[in-house]
Structure formats: structure tokens, C-alpha cells
Structure 1
Amino acid sequence: MDAPVVVCIRSHNGRPQQNQNAEDAANGHSAGTSTSIHTSNQAPTTAHKTTGTHRQWSVSMTINDIPPKTAILHDPFTLHQYETIFDRYLRDSDRPRWRLSLDEEACTTDHQTRAEHAIERYTDSLWQQLDAALKLESSGVSDCQLLIVEHHETNHTSDAGIHCLAWELLEASAAAKTPRRPRLRITRVSDFPSRPGTIFKVPQPLSTVKKDSACAVRVLLVVARDFSRTGDERDPEPDLAQFPLMSVQRRLRSRMLLEVVRPGSREELEAHLALRARQGIVFHLVHFDLHGRVMRDEHGKMVPWLLFAKRHIGAHHKHGVPETHLAKAESVARLLAQHKVENVVLNACLSAYNRNGPDTNLAHVLLKHGIRHVSAIWYYVYWQTVSTYLETFYTELLVKGVEFHVAAQRGREAIRRRPTNRTGREYQDFFLCVNYAREGHRSDSMAREPSPPASVRSQDSSTSNSSVKAKWMPSTPRLGDGLVALPGEEPLRMQLHLLELEYKLMTFRIVYASDLRRADSRLWHTIDRMVGMWLMTNLMDEVYIYRGKDLGKRPIHSDNLPYREKRTRPSSGGYLQLRLPRPIRPLRKALHIIRDIDTVIDPGVQADEVQNRRSDERRRNAEANLELLARRLHSAGDSYLLFVGSQDAQWWQTYLEHLNGQWWLHMPWGFTVHSRYNREMRLPHEGARRSLTPSPLGLR
């Protein structure tokens, strides 16, 4: 049998039975060696929720259209083994080796080896139970799509179902064990009761958009980081999702609309979706690049949460670093369903955590509210694993045009080829990246042809799946193609301090960016690339660049300041503009960048009295113009002002803080996150030592 087949394992969610062989496991027999599978027509009975017993479920197994077989599926591990084997193994993968003593390192290495052997037995047990019922090895099947289906009779189910098992481990157990074992590909499916209003209608499914070269895929990214974490526990750089998405955007050009919620707060996400909804724009996919939590709610129930950036209103916020705010996953799911989001991707830890039931599973919550496809993380995960997964996932999904579940499977395959190596050894954590669907997939799900270049049209091309021929037109760039980076450039790698800049700029609207006269800082180069990224993601429509001395020539009372350079988004798409909707409006109006303002605002004292009077007049004119511009920015609320200089925070507090903005340092976060705010530094050509941050920021 060369053609791929579909094996469907169905279970009605209910309390799992207590394994009859639990006593054997308690007496020291390995749980991973259990291979028995019993046919039964009885529903699961009530089991005691103890950590020393093996759970089991009554399931039905189907191969293609063959009548189903009913069987009993045993959990290879007890709940206690999940804690002592899976939990510790995955936590050790993210534990820095340099903090361990020699004895601790030897103990950790020994546990890792034993845990990997136990996980291997776990995988064998799952496979042997399936093969005992379905005889896949002897049937000659070479490629098998395994659908793990949980039926939920109600929307309020708290008992653990078969989704609590680590099914994705089976994807690595094919050729490694025996050539006769088929290649397995896993997709988790959740079925819910059909009720009016539960399933919203997607205006234009992602699968349809990818086939139509005249349409653009719309992706919304939410990024937030916890800046309070210090040392080796500090957060990873905020480019885990943004870099692969912008790399794909660079390849697809105008066929992809990528926008970022800035700052990454729950309130800003709601405002962003509402704004685009009023403009008739629905996002096909929303990605959450932030932390996940499983905590008790106000009723004492364990539920999933997401850690967003905390929203602050203007100058009322005086903290030196961004703060965070927890939002319940249920409210986020309702928001996404309200705006008809079809696909959701989360690289948040614990976003698919379901050891004791679906109530703690964020992916389950999203599916329950009507989201069609979800990719999430089963437990804690290391950033390198996420980076490898997302790079392959988005290339497969958006560039090669495969279906969501196929892209997820190939992402896990990429992790197996390039496993995480954190502590000097490789960790097998590919199974943490799981994918869910609300409904099943066809058995012949195959990859489509790669997406055609945005500017190519010919007599043989079509604008949809139909065979209607389009009249040939000269090759012309699509809307937005001019914004794509040059062939030799790659998208900007976002870092924590750059995310801090975005947060301060979006919150306070006025920011003074400083490099403290460091020769190797390349501050302007960084700002220049940030501007390109902001334009590519529709943050603003226009960017004006000024020199400080231009603002000091005379008081300017009109709306137009004398700028040196202006950058805008493209507004014309050539011939294809006739076939496309009007350009999407930006989220904000403009960004004003002022360079070399330091010597204008603080000219110092010269020996020439005439020169001093001229400098003083230029300073007064510049201050008046800046105050006028700042009032307009704060009152309009749709533009930003960014100074590019080299002075410290005390200088900012003395000369420009009255503009109600913030000071920002262009220096990457180190292992001690707040050290750059607390330490003292001697600026060149100055005799005094100054703190980088004044005391009102509350960090000294």
C-alpha cells in the first residue's frame, strides 16, 4: 500500500478508567512495556484521580472507510511519571549547565539518559497498542495520517481525554525502529456540540487565499516580553515569530499583509482588530509570541492565561521598563472569534497543557469558540526549538502553500533534523509543538504548488481555482513590492531593547534615543532599519527626518516643519492596481525623527559673545517649535516624535523631559537586565559621573 492512509482514533471525552494493570506498575513493572489492547463496547467508568494509576479510554479506530474497531487504550505513564520524567526532562533542557556543580551535572546527565529511555518505552507502548488493533506493520502501509479525535458532548468538560497523551512522539518512531513501521503524521482534532452561533463563518479561508494570486494573506502578530526577568532567566529576543514572518513577507511581497500589535497589550489587540474590522479587513492568522501561564481564576479553577504587555496612558507611567499584564485565555478566544479569526499560532509555554483535562488547554479553549486551526506548545519549551519550528512552519504554510496540519508536521520534522542543543547534548523535544483542528482533514492532503511570484502574470495563469484565463498584462509590481528589502539584506532581528523602544514610543509618543557616544553603537543604522520595518508593517504612512539646526532658524507656526527627508509607503500598484482593492490605510499617521538636537538645545558657552547670542536665539526657536510639535502629537494621538542623540538620561531630564516623553538607551540587554539602568558611566569629555536613569524612574 503506497498511497497514504488515514487512521482515525476517536474518543468521547469522559472520565478515564483505572487501568487494571496498575498494581503491576506499582510493583515495579515498567509501564512502557504494556502492549495489550482489549476490545470493548463499554463506556469509560469513573476512576480515582491518583498519581500511581494508569488511565485508560475506550476508543474506536478506523482505517479509511473500513468499519471501526473498538478498543481500550492505556496510558503508558502514570500521572506521577509525567511529573518525574517528562516534566524534569523538559525543564532540564532549559537549565543552564554553567550553574551546576560537577555532582549536579553528573546527576542531571544520568537523569536525562534514563528519561530518554523511559520516553522511548512510552512511544513503543503507544505504537504497539495501535498496531495490535490495526496491524499497520503487516499491512504494508508506508505513510499514515493519524487523526486523534476527541468528542466533547458539552462545552464544559473537565476530564482528561486521549489528547493528554504525547502522540507526536510517534512521528519519530518509524524507520528508527523497523523499516516495516509506517511514517506517521499526527493531527489532534476536537469535535464540539453543534449549537447556533458557535461556528462563525470565515469570510475568506486561508486555503482559498493561498490559491488566488490576486489575494493577500493577512497575518497579525502580538509580541510581549517580561522585562522583569533577570540573569540567565531573562526572556529570549522578541524575533522568534517576527523574523520568520518578515522573511516570508520578503518572499511573498505584496501577497502578504503583516501587521504587529504595538505595544503587545490585550487592549491594543482589541483596538487593532476593531479598527481593521471597520475597514473590512479580517486576519487569516493571529500569532501570539508571549508567555503562557496556567493559574487559578477568581473561582479557584485552573485555567490558561496569556502574559501581555501592560497598557499605560501617556505620562502617568514612570517605570523604566515595560510591565506585563495577565489576561484570561477565555476572553482572548471570544475576541478572536468575534473578529472571525480562522487560524491561531502560539509559541507560549503551556498553551496546550492538558495533563489532567482540557480546562487548562488554551488550544482547546480557542477551538471551543470556533477557531479552526491552532498550533500550540504542550509544555515548557526552549527558544531554539520554537525558532526552528516556526521557520519551517511558515515557509511551508505561506510560501509552499501546504495545509495547516501538514506545515505543523514538517515543523516538527525540522526540529528532529536540528534538535535543540542547550547543555552540550541534544534534547528530543520536537513533540512539544502540537497542532489542533476543529474538524478533520481529507486523507489526500497534499502540498500545493509554490505560490507564484507576485508580479508574474501570463496567459496560463489564473486568479482563482477556476480555469478562467486572465488577459496578459505587462509585468508590474504589486502594491507594497517597493518596500521589500534588497536581495542582500535580511529582515531586522528584533532584540529586547528594540522592543523596549517600540513600547516607549507607542506609549509616550516622544522618545529620546541615545547611544551615549559609543563608537560601535550604529544607532542611526538601527533606527533606519526600524523605520523600514515600521513602514512594511503599516504602522505609519509617512516618516519625516529633520536636522536640529533647521528647527532653530525661526519660530514655525504652520503645520509644516522644514524636513530634510521624507519616506512613505508606496501608493500605486501599476496595472494590477485595477484588480486590487484600495491600499490598506496605516495604523498611525506619521513619525518625526530629529537628529543632532543636542548642540541646538544645549549649545554651551563660547568665547565669542555674538556667537552666544545666536546660539541662544537658535535654542529658543528650537524649544518653541518642539513644544508646538509635542502639543500637536499629544492632542492628535496619531503620530510620534523620535530624537536621535547621544546624551544621558539626566541631560534628557534637564532639557527635554517637559515634552512628556521618555529616554531610551541603544544598548542590548545583558544577563543582568537592569544593570544598564543602575550603573554609572563616565561620558566622554565630562568630568562628572552620571547615573543613566534619574530617580523618578524608581529603579535606583
Structure 2
Amino acid sequence: MDAVVVIRIRSQSPRTAHQHQHQHQGSISANGTNNHAAAQPAPASTNGATHRSWILSVTINNRSPHEFELNDPFTEDEYKSILEPYLRHSEKPSLLLTADEEAVPLDVQGAELKIDDYTENLFAQLDKKLELRNSGVAKYHIFVVEDHSSRRPSENAHGIQCLAWELLESMDKPCMRITRVANFVPGGSGGTQQSRVPQELSSVRSGYLVKVLLVVARDFTLSGADRDPEPDLAQYPLMTVQKKLRTKGKGRMLLEVVRPGSREELEQHLRIRSRQDVFFHIVHFDLHGIVQEDEHGRMVPWLLFAKKHDETVGQPYNLPGTCLAKADSVAEVLAKYKVENVVLNSCLSAYNRHESGTNLAQTFLRHGISNVSAMWYYVHWQTVSTYLETFYNELLVNQVDFHVAAHRGREAIRRKYADKTGRRYKDFFICVNYTRESRHINHASRDRSPSLSDQSQDSSNSGSSRVKWKPPAVLLGDNLMAPTDEPIRMKLHLLELEYKLTTFRVVYASDLQRSDAKMEATIDQMISMWLATNLVDEVYFYRAKDLDKPNMMLDGLPYREKRTRPHASRYLPSSMIRESVRSLRQKLLVIRGIDDVLDPGTQAYPEDNQRNEKRRRNVEDTLARLTDRLHKEQNSYLLFVGGKDAQWWRGHLEHLDGQWWLHMPWNITVHSRYNRDIMVPGDGGRRSLTPSPLGRSRW
């Protein structure tokens, strides 16, 4: 038997004193209705510390509401002294500890006991009024609802969504699933929501094509322990799901990547696709998130996109960093182009400890986005990897509801994630899911969700979607990748190759003739990935010596090999053919053997030198005309594959307005939360924060 619990804030209680929290704890013990909860000690506090409290209205299965007062299990100081340091501690190497931390090391086990107390305290308050444990209900779907009457959620400070509700999912009995709901007054989204009819992901999954857009950005200027994590956290699980859908005949998935991952390129990508009547069902942001002041001094969320290259004439290329974009402006773009679901593995993308105005997820909901999966605090890269792998497999392969998939992602973290010492960190609750649509509550009341037990990860059935899904025929023309091809795991130096290729269109790739470089295999994998993610339609492979003819026709260059991403098949119905989506660019030209042609060296016989010189001039002329057309038309790319250094490139190919790229993985980094000094709002001074590689130390 399942039950739906809807929790709404009715008012903020004026009583928030430390003494009031002890009164509540005493009432649970005296009542005796929950001996297990009564045995839990009250959270430790210092004199004068306050507990926030709210008057709640709670309904179960649409019955008459219950009203009672809920107290925050922690004081605000305890969030800073217990919860946040614990979340920053996982897998932190001792060499990165500050002097203060070395003097007073974190008591990890003690912090975990406090988190357990937090969980039991929160549940005990609900159980005392609602009798959840002894009701005979095995599974509860809990909706935590906030009604926003203002366009600015920052005016609704300290709402109930600042609590770590997802910790309740760790309870053995009863089993619980948390969904956060943010209701906004009609018109609060600035009109964007009313101008469109959103296309539901559940109905699309029963059709032909699910469309996903991925935005990846990393700061290439960071190095050493500060270096960003590899850019495969979202792309690898998405491409794995793409392959699984194709090989199992469970539908099709259009996966595209914004390249480079800049704010401007995101809007351009969505604009071009909208003109082609292509609208994405999911947009995923794999980049940094921060919370800091805006121009008016308000604390608001931001995202850090890739910084576009300064195209000013004569401006040298430098390793690109990231640039800030306010969440409000990003949300406006997403709503304009009919995006319904957003996933972020950005740190602080659901940060809500001080006020709801810092919550990026709620900002997106306010602008009309329907469902958001985001991160409550700083998040470890390994936690992200585990969550996304399960989330997308459940959502797109097993066809479950968005919020069921989020719940199962948290389940996977609880079962699998452990640090290098083999111990499990309790950080699953960082991954939270929001919806702005109260219809989910009504659907859950009528259609009971699938099993929320530990075995639910392996279940492929969902009662959340009322549409009977049938596996469509596989369309060979979309996202071509051989069934045996494994998705490539993107690395930072490979992301740099993409950045240079999509920015400058002409790149000379070199392995410095290292015998262990295996650049040919890497380039081959990258090409398969570019075809699979719709970057280009066709790839042509050339030998430089074959371009040795004066005034060669550029449209008829002799190629050695051609790979394509087919768009249709005569064996497929016309309705499926029409849904095939062409790439944003036409061709990728790959030229091998350029080193020996442009720099043949001196031969023993004069006639050989004359022949080589003539060939060099002919090839240089062909390349000059070819690259000139590429830069003007801006619809194709040229990749040279060689083994020379940057100095050689400057002497032979720099005039083609391209870039040199080295196939060499960047130094191995310690993926951990590292220390920086930051300004904390309201603290009146500086303290050390240790964000994960996906976070920023400014908020």
C-alpha cells in the first residue's frame, strides 16, 4: 500500500528560540508514540542558537489536512559547523587541509551521528502527528510544497525547502520518496509559460525520438590540485544510454552538445534548432555553479559557461577560462525555446540555506521550466557520476517518471559510493529534484508509484507514466555509432581539441611522434563521438600528397575514406524519416601525411627536390583556398593529423588561421574538495571553504 503526503508551509512561526526546540523534543519523549524517535538526543547547540520553525498543513491521500509546528532539527550554526564541513570532507587529501583543519580535524563519525539524529528528528516530528510508521503504509511519496506569491522568491526567506528532506529516504521503514514542488502565481514567469504548450517527456518516450542537449564547460586555466574534473560526468552516461536504447530497440535518442559550451553558443544552438522545429526535452548543464551578489547586492545564483575566444584581430589565443551568466538570463533562454526538463550537476544549483532567492532550481521553475534536478550543496564528482548513470538509465531506458528516476539515483549513491578508505559518505541527499506542476501530486494520488525499495533500481516498470510505451523500430539514420563502439570518456585535453576545432575551424593535431600516444585511435573515437552527437554529417579522410595538382577543384578533392551519418532508410516509414535531424555542420575534413609534404627535407638528387618543392606549392595553394572557404562559409572543419611541435606549426600552417593541439593528457589531478578562502555572506569575515571540483569558492 502506498500513500501520498503533501506538506505545505502555512506560516513561519515567530518562536525560533533554542528553548523552543527543547520543548518539542520533550513533548515527543513524553508522548511515547514513537519510542525509537524519542530515544534520539536533541541536536547540540550553543547558547543563543536558534531553530527555525514553521506551521505546516499536511494532507495524506487528499484527506483533511493536519496542522502542526515543525522545527528545524539543526540550528543555522550547526549547518555550518556539522553538515557543510562533512560534505566538504569526503576524499580530501591531507595535503590540502588548512592549518585550522589540521589542528581541529573533522570528527567524521560524530558528524554522521548528528546527521542520523537530524533524520530521526525530522521523521519523528512528522510521525508524531501523522503516525507514519504504524499506519501500515509501506511507501510514502512526500511532496514538499512551497507556494510563491511573489515574482522574487528571495522575499520568501527560510521556506521549508531549506531542510534536507531527502535524508528521509534513508529510513528503512517506511520507505519514502521526496519531490520538491514550487508553485508560482500565474504570470510569475514573465509570460513565457503561457505562450507555449510544453511537450511532456512521458508522451515523447512513447514515440520516436527523445532530444537531449548537453552543455559542458571547464576552466582550462586551472592546474594542479585546482584542476577541473574530466568532462565526461554527464556525456558518458548519456552516450551509454544512447547506445543502450539503440541496441535494445527501445527507442531513439538525439544527443547534441553545445560546442564550445558558452552562454552565447547555447542560445545560438537553441535558436537554430527552433527554426528547424526541433525542441529539446532535456537540457543538461555540466559546469560550475556559484551563488554571489548581483549588481543590486542581492545574493543570486550564477552559472559559469565557457569563455568565448576574443576574435579581435591580432589577439593571441590563451587557455580559456569561464565567464558568469546569471541564472535568470539562462532560464529566460530555456523557457523561450520550450525546454521542459533541466538537469544540473553544478554545485550550489539548489542552494537554499539562507533564502530561496539563492536557489537556481527555483529560478528555473519560476521562468516556466517544469522539472529540475540539481545539487543542494557542493558535490563530489564521484557522487555526480553515480547519480547520473542511474538517473538517465531509469528515465530514458526504463521509462520511469522524472522524479522516480531522481529517487533511484539517490538510492544508487547510498549503495555504491565510497571514498578511497572504503567508507560510505552520506551525501546522497545533495541530489534534489523539483517540479513546478502540482499535477504530479494528483497523478501520484491516482497512479501509485513503482516500488521504492532497494530493488527498485532494477525494475523496468513505472506506474507514473500512464502512456503505454512500445519500443519503436530503430532508425538507422540517427546518431550513428557501431554497436560494438564504446562511448569515449572525454578528457580535458580532448575538450580543448573540441574548443579549438569549433572556435577556429582549422586544427593541427600532434602527438610529437611519441610511440605510445595512440593518437590515430583517439581521433577515430572522437570522430565516432562527433557523428553520434550530431556535430557533423560527413567525415572525409585525405592524404596530403593526393592534393598535389595545380588549381584543384575544392568540391572534388580525392578522398581515401568517407564516413557518414545516414539520415534515412528506404526500409523505414516516412513518419520516422521526417523526424531525422541533420547536424549543425556539414563536414569534417581530416588530412594525414601533411608533415612530409610541407617539410620533405633535402634529397640527394636535385630532381627529387624540385618535385617535392612543386608538390609543396600545389598543396599549400589548395589548402589556402580550402581554409579560406571554410572560414567564410563556417559550416565545416579541417583537422590535420601529424607529429610536429608548435614551432613547426607556426612556420608551416599558422597562416591558415588555425590552432596547434597536443595529444597528451593533462597532469593527473586529485579529484577532491580543495580549500580556498571566501567571503561568506552574513559571517562578517573570511573562512575556508573546500568546494568540489565542480564548485566555485565564491557564493
Q: State the Cα deviation string for residues 83-102 of structure 1 (Å, max 9, x = none).
A: 11111111111522454599
**2:565 aligned partner, one-letter code:** R
Residue 225 of structure 2 is matched in structure 1 by 232
* 2:500 is the alignment partner of 1:504: yes
Check 1:37–1:228 CA distance in 2 against 1; reply closer, same or farther (3 A cut).
Answer: farther
Residue in 1 aligned with 2:560? 564
Q: Spell out the pairing of 1:267-282 with structure 2 (5 A cutoff).
A: 267-282=264-279
Equivalent residue letter for 1:368: R
Corresponding residue of 2:235: 242
1:483 equivalenced with 2:489 (yes/no): no
Name the count of aligned residue pairs.
629
1:339 partner letter: Y
Q: Which of 71, 76, 85 is equivalent to 1:74?
A: 71
Match of 1:327 in 2: 325
Does residue 524 (structure 1) correspond to residue 484 (structure 2)? The answer is no
Q: Which position in structure 2 is the counterpart of 1:44?
A: none
The answer for the alignment partner of 2:616 in structure 1 is 619
Q: Are the structure 2 counterparts of residues 549 and 125 from structure 1 closer, same or farther at C-alpha, using a change threshold of 3 Å?
A: same
Q: Distance in 2 between matches of 1:99 and 1:465?
A: 51
2:14 corresponds, among 14, 17, 32, to 17
Distance 1:540 1:314, change over 3 A: farther
Q: Is the contact made by 1:32 and 1:122 (CA closer than 8 Å) also made in structure 2?
A: no
Aligned-partner residue type, residue 308 of structure 1: F
Between the aligned partners of 1:578 and 1:636, the Cα distance in structure 2 is 31
The residue number in structure 1 matching 2:211 is 218
Quote the residue 2:673 is aligned against.
none
Q: Which has the higher contact order (CA 8 A, sep 6+)?
A: 2
1:608-687 equivalences under 5 Å are 608-671=605-668
Give the SS at the match of 1:478.
coil
Q: How far 1:565 moved relative to its partner?
A: 1.1
Query: Structure 1: 5+ residue runs without aligned partners?
Result: 39-49, 176-180, 453-463, 674-700
- CA shift, 1:585, in A, is 1.9
Output the CA distance in 2 between the equivalents of 1:296 and 1:31: 37
Normalising by the residue count of structure 2, what TM-score does the alignment of the two structures yield?
0.85
Q: Secondary structure at the match of 1:113?
A: helix
Of 277, 291, 297, which aligns to 1:294? 291
Contact 1:16 1:160 in 2 (8 A): no
CA 1:363–1:565: 2 relative to 1, 3 Å: same
**1:673-695, CA deviations, whole angstroms, 9 ceiling, x for partnerless residues?**
9xxxxxxxxxxxxxxxxxxxxxx
Asked if the contact 2:192/2:336 (under 8 Å) is kept, the reply is no
1:183 maps onto 2:175 in alignment: yes
Shift of 1:117: 1.1
Provide structure 2 residue ranges, at least 5 long, that are not aligned to the other structure: 32-46, 452-458, 671-699
SS of 1:137's equivalent in the other structure is: coil
CA contact (8 A) 1:288 1:347 kept: yes
Instruction: Give the distance between the partners of 2:426 and 2:669, measured in 1 at CA.
Output: 30
Moved over 4 A (4+): 29-38, 98-107, 313-317, 447-452, 464-467
* Matches of 1:485 and 1:451, distance apart in 2: 28
Distance 1:355 1:252, change over 3 A: same
2:191 corresponds to: 197
8 Å contact from structure 2 (residues 305, 325) kept in 1: yes
For the 8 Å contact 1:309–1:322, the answer to whether it is kept is yes
Match for residue 82 of structure 2 among 81, 85, 88: 85
Instruction: Measure how far apart 1:439 and its partner are.
Output: 1.8
Alignment partner of 1:606 is 2:595? no
> Displacement, 1:524?
1.0
Identical aligned pairs, as a percentage? 56
Deviations 1:518-555 (A, max 9, x none): 11111111111111111111111111111111123444
**One-letter amino acid of the structure 2 residue matched with residue 182 of structure 1:** P
Q: Which amino acid aligns with 2:243?
A: R
SS of the equivalent of 1:603 reads coil
For 1:601 and 1:141, the matched residues in 2 are separated by 76
* Corresponding position of 2:415: 417
Give the AA of the match of 1:548: A
Find the counterpart in structure 1 of residue 449 from structure 2. 446
The aligned residue for residue 436 of structure 1 is 434
What is the distance in 1 between the residues matched to 2:323 and 2:625? Answer: 34
Question: Is the Cα–Cα contact under 8 Å of residues 94 and 381 in structure 1 kept in the other structure?
Answer: no
Task: Show the counterpart of 1:691.
Answer: none
Q: Are 2:158 and 2:354, in contact at CA under 8 Å, matched by a contact in 1?
A: yes
1:609 CA drift (Å) = 1.1
For the Cα contact (< 8 Å) 1:389–1:415, is it kept in 2? yes
Instruction: Return the letter of the residue paired with 1:669.
Output: W
Residue 381 of structure 1: how far off its partner (Å): 0.6
| 1:193, distance to aligned residue in structure 2 (A) | 0.7
Who is 2:147 aligned against?
151
Quickly say closer, same or farther: Cα 1:184–1:390, change in 2 above 3 A: same
The structural deviation recorded for 1:342 is 0.6
Distance 1:409 1:672 in 2: 31
Q: Distance in 2 between matches of 1:37 and 1:661?
A: 76
Find the aligned partners of 1:344 and 1:33 in 2 and give their Cα distance.
43
What amino acid maps onto 1:219 in structure 2? V
The separation in 2 between residues aligned to 1:160 and 1:622, in whole angstroms, is: 68
Change (3 A) 1:123 1:582: closer
**CA deviation profile, 1:100-147 (whole Å, cap 9, x unmatched):** 599967953x52121111111111110000001101112121111111
Counterpart-to-counterpart distance in 2, 1:30 and 1:515: 69
Residue 257 (structure 1) shift? 0.7
- What amino acid is the match of 1:124? E
Secondary structure of the residue aligned to 2:573 is: helix
Give the corresponding residue for 1:255: 252
Q: Are 2:52 and 1:55 aligned?
A: yes
Report the secondary structure of 2:641's partner residue. strand
Residues of 2 paired with 1:135 and 1:407: CA distance? 27
Distance in 1 between residues matched to 2:553 and 2:384, nearest whole Å: 52
Q: Amino acid of the residue matched to residue 544 of structure 2?
A: G
Alpha-carbon shift at residue 66 of structure 1 (Å): 1.6
User: Which whole-Å CA distance do the structure 2 matches of 1:81 and 1:559 have between them?
Assistant: 68
1:229 Cα deviation (Å)?
1.9
Q: Residue by residue, what CA displacement relative to the aligned partner does 1:583-606 show, whole Å, maximum 9, x if unpaired?
A: 312101111110110010011111
Q: Classify the secondary structure of the residue corresponding to 2:572.
A: helix
In structure 1, the partner of 2:675 is none
Give the deviation of 1:575 after TM superposition.
Answer: 3.3
SS in 2 for 1:136: coil
* Inter-partner Cα distance in structure 1 for 2:30 and 2:296: 40
Structure 1 residue identity aligned to 2:224: G
TM-score (normalizing by structure 1): 0.85
Match of 2:135 among 120, 139, 146: 139
Amino acid at match of 2:178: I
Aligned to 1:406: 404
Contact 1:230 1:671 in 2 (8 A): no
- SS of 1:17's equivalent in the other structure is coil
- Taking a change above 3 Å as real, the CA distance of residues 16 and 539 of structure 1, as seen in their structure-2 partners, is farther
Q: Are the counterparts in 2 of residues 7 and 147 from structure 1 also a CA contact under 8 Å?
A: yes
| Maintained 8 Å contact 1:401/1:450 | yes
Per-residue CA deviation, residues 603-643 of structure 1 (Å, 9 max, x unaligned), is 11112111111111111111111101110011111111100
Q: Is the 8 A contact 1:401 1:447 kept in 2?
A: no
Q: Is the 8 A contact 1:37 1:71 kept in 2?
A: no
Contact 2:478–2:580 (CA<8 Å) still a contact in 1?
no
SS at match of 2:408: helix
Query: Paired residue for 1:680?
Result: none
Q: Supply the AA of the counterpart residue of 1:540.
A: V
Give yes or no for contact 2:478–2:565 (8 Å, CA) kept in 1: no
The residue that corresponds to 2:692 in the other structure is none
CA distance in 2, matches of 1:510, 1:445: 55
Cα pair 1:313 1:507 within 8 Å, conserved: no
Aligned pair 1:592/2:585, yes or no?
no
Q: Return the alpha-carbon distance in structure 1 between the equivalents of residues 30 and 297 of structure 2.
A: 38
Matched, 1:303 2:300: yes
After superposition, the Cα gap between the structure-2 partners of 1:588 and 1:242, relative to the gap in structure 1 and judged at 3 Å, is: same
